[in-house]
């Protein structure tokens, strides 16, 4: 049961009768109690309500979706209610409460807008219903569980780079009319020699059968395997600006996956810390992006120290032939977490790219010199940057390619590394 503001106002009015007599107060209190009882009797019973929820469509992080709660009044009394369809705070449910008027035997929908602030699966809390009587002094109240879930997909902000990357991919494939040949190691076609062609590309046998000089054109091999290895340990929880490091890595995975699928390559995924959190076998064609989104959406940073050997072992188990492995991890703590031995094992069998999101605040801290405290902070930032450079040099000696870029251009640089290797015929 709940008492309304109208009851409080009437009770305050009854206090004024205390100046007359105690008997008047008692009579007024009895009348007020009868009003409360009558209101409760005439209010719709919450147990007579049948509540269901429509499935919520998936939304991208930063976009707005909605959920619809259906309420059927199966009782005899009219439902005059205030409804709160509560969700977890990160679902961004609005408005907080809504008024509802449903006659006997009628059904109404309560629409709640959802603007989530976190990726993953956002769940409902409880539906709170306060059913008022016609007098408006008292109400029945109950919390009811009506399960529901909103799937919040990664924002994929890097899709703005997609036209540029696809244009470069067409140039690499030789599909754009340019004075350069498609590079790679897979034979594409024969064509007439033009000024500027590499003389090493001349096909002398075909030239002997033709009146013109004929050259071979090449294109990057297709059906290559790209393995995305994502570190979901504690370093991935570090916030760089408005989002954790892990979200920047997932964004890069989506852009790289989209470009690789257009290039005819197959994409696989492994995400792990102390245990494997997500796994996707080699996938190609139009299935790449939907399956990647499904696998990446529920990933959350785990506040544990990642086991790089586990991640490397899972990658080696996932693909047997030589592939491109893109390892998303942090360079800041690489010397302490065992990243270098894992990178050595991967680089021995695969083409390896180690991708790490740079923290721009470290560079900003290194420039502060206003007082002693700033000087110590700057020294610590310089030491961190020097350690990062040292790890980069060691990875380079192992044969790995390192991508170290801020979050806003991180996905673009990772995809550029893939396209550079493809243009060089190393995939």
C-alpha torsion sign, points 258, 259, 260, 264: positive
* 349 & 253 share domain: yes
Tens digits of per-residue pLDDT, 121-162? 999 989 999 998 888 888 889 999 999 999 999 989 999 999
* Domain count within the chain: 2
* Per-residue pLDDT reduced to its tens digit, 377-424: 888 878 878 888 888 899 999 999 999 999 999 999 999 999 999 888
241: phi > 0 → left, psi -120 to 50 → alpha, else beta; which?
A: left
pLDDT digits (tens, 9 = 90+) for 174-201: 644 333 444 444 555 677 877 777 777 7
pLDDT at 221: 55
Residue 265, SS3 per DSSP:
coil
In this structure, are 105 and 245 located in the same domain?
Answer: no
Domain assignment present for residue 29? The answer is: no
Higher pLDDT, 31 or 347: 347
Query: Is the pLDDT score of 247 beyond 90?
Result: yes
Residue 217 lies in a domain: no
Cβ atoms of 154 and 293 within 8 Å: the answer is yes
Percent of residues, the chain, with pLDDT higher than 70: 93
Looking at per-residue pLDDT, the higher value among 335 and 205 belongs to: 205
Shared-domain flag, residues 144 and 229: no
pLDDT at residue number 68: 94
Distance from C-alpha of 145 to C-alpha of 86, rounded to nearest angstrom: 10
The whole domain housing 332 covers: 222-423
**Same domain flag for 148 and 240:** no
Same domain? For 131 and 233 the reply is no
Output the CA–CA distances (angstroms, integers) from residue 261 to 66, 245, 255, 320, in the order listed. Answer: 32, 25, 10, 20
Give a yes or no: residue 292 inside a domain: yes
Stretch 250-270: mean pLDDT, rounded?
94
Q: What is the pLDDT of residue 219?
A: 56
- For 288-333, how does the pLDDT look when each residue is reduced to its tens digit (9 = 90+)? 999 999 999 999 999 999 999 999 999 999 888 889 999 999 887 6
Rg for the chain, CA atoms, rounded: 32
DSSP for 337-406, written as a single string: HTHHHHHHHHHTTSEEEEEEEE-HHHHHHHT--SSHHHHHHHHHHHHHHHHHHHHHHHHHHTT-EEEEEE
Q: Cα(94)–Cα(84) distance, rounded to whole angstroms?
A: 10
Q: How far apart are CA 146 and CA 142, in angstroms?
A: 13
282 and 393 in a single domain? The answer is: yes
Could you read off the pLDDT of 8-45 as tens digits, one per residue? 787 777 777 666 677 777 777 888 888 888 888 888 89
pTM of the model: 0.78
Q: How confident is the model at residue 104 (pLDDT cuts 50, 70, 90)?
A: very high
Distance from C-alpha of 199 to C-alpha of 218, rounded to nearest angstrom: 14
pLDDT at 184: 46
pLDDT greater than 60 at residue 363: yes
State how far the Cα of 140 lies from the Cα of 129, in Å rounded to an integer.
Answer: 8
Pick the most confident of 54-58, 225-229, 240-244: 225-229
Helices (H), 304-338: 308-318, 334-337
Query: What's the pLDDT at 18?
Result: 65
What is the model's pLDDT at position 181?
Answer: 42
CATH number of 128's domain:
2.60.40.10
195 or 348: which leads in pLDDT: 348
Q: Is residue 251 part of a domain?
A: yes
Say if residue 271's pLDDT is above 80: yes
CATH of the domain at 245: 3.40.50.410
> What is the mean predicted confidence (pLDDT) over 237-262?
91
111 and 234 assigned to the same domain: no
Q: Is residue 2 part of a domain?
A: no
């Amino acid at each position: 049961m709940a008492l309304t503001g109208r009851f409080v106002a009437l009770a305050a009015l009854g206090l004024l009768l205390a100046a007359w007599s105690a008997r008047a107060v008692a009579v007024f209190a009895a009348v007020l109690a009868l009003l409360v009882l009558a209101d409760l009797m005439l209010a719709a019973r919450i147990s007579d309500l049948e509540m269901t929820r429509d499935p919520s469509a998936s939304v991208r992080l930063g976009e707005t979706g909605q959920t619809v709660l259906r309420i059927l009044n199966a009782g005899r009394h009219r439902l005059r209610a205030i409804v709160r369809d509560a969700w977890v705070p990160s679902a961004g449910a609005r408005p907080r409460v809504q008024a509802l008027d449903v006659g006997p035997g009628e059904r109404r929908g309560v629409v709640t807008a959802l603007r989530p602030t976190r990726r993953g699966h956002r769940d409902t809390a409880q539906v709170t219903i306060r059913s008022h009587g016609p007098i408006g002094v008292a109400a029945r109240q109950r919390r009811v569980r009506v399960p529901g879930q909103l799937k919040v997909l990664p924002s994929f902000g890097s899709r703005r780079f997609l036209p540029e990357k696809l244009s470069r991919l067409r140039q690499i494939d030789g599909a754009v009319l340019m004075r350069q040949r498609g590079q790679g190691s897979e034979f594409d076609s024969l064509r007439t020699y033009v000024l500027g062609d590499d003389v090493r590309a001349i096909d002398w046998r075909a030239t002997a059968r033709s009146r013109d000089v004929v050259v071979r054109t090449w294109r990057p091999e297709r059906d290559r395997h790209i393995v995305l290895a994502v570190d979901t340990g504690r370093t991935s929880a570090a916030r760089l600006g408005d989002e954790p490091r892990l979200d920047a890595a997932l964004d890069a995975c989506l852009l790289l996956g989209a470009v690789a699928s257009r290039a005819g390559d197959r994409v696989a995924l492994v995400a792990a810390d102390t245990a494997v959190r997500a796994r996707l076998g080699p996938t190609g064609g139009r299935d790449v992006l939907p399956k990647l989104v499904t696998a990446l959406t529920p990933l959350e940073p785990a506040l544990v120290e990642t086991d790089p050997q586990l991640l490397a072992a899972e990658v080696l188990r996932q693909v047997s032939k030589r592939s491109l492995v893109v390892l998303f991890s942090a360079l800041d703590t690489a010397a302490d977490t065992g990243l270098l031995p894992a990178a050595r094992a991967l680089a021995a069998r695969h083409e390896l790219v180690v991708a790490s999101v740079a923290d721009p605040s470290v560079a900003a801290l290194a420039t502060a010199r206003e007082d002693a405290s700033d000087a110590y902070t700057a020294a610590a930032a310089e030491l961190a940057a020097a350690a990062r450079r040292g790890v980069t040099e060691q990875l380079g000696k192992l044969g790995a390619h390192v991508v170290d870029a801020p979050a806003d251009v991180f996905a673009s640089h990772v995809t550029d590394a893939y396209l550079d290797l493809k243009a060089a015929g190393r995939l």
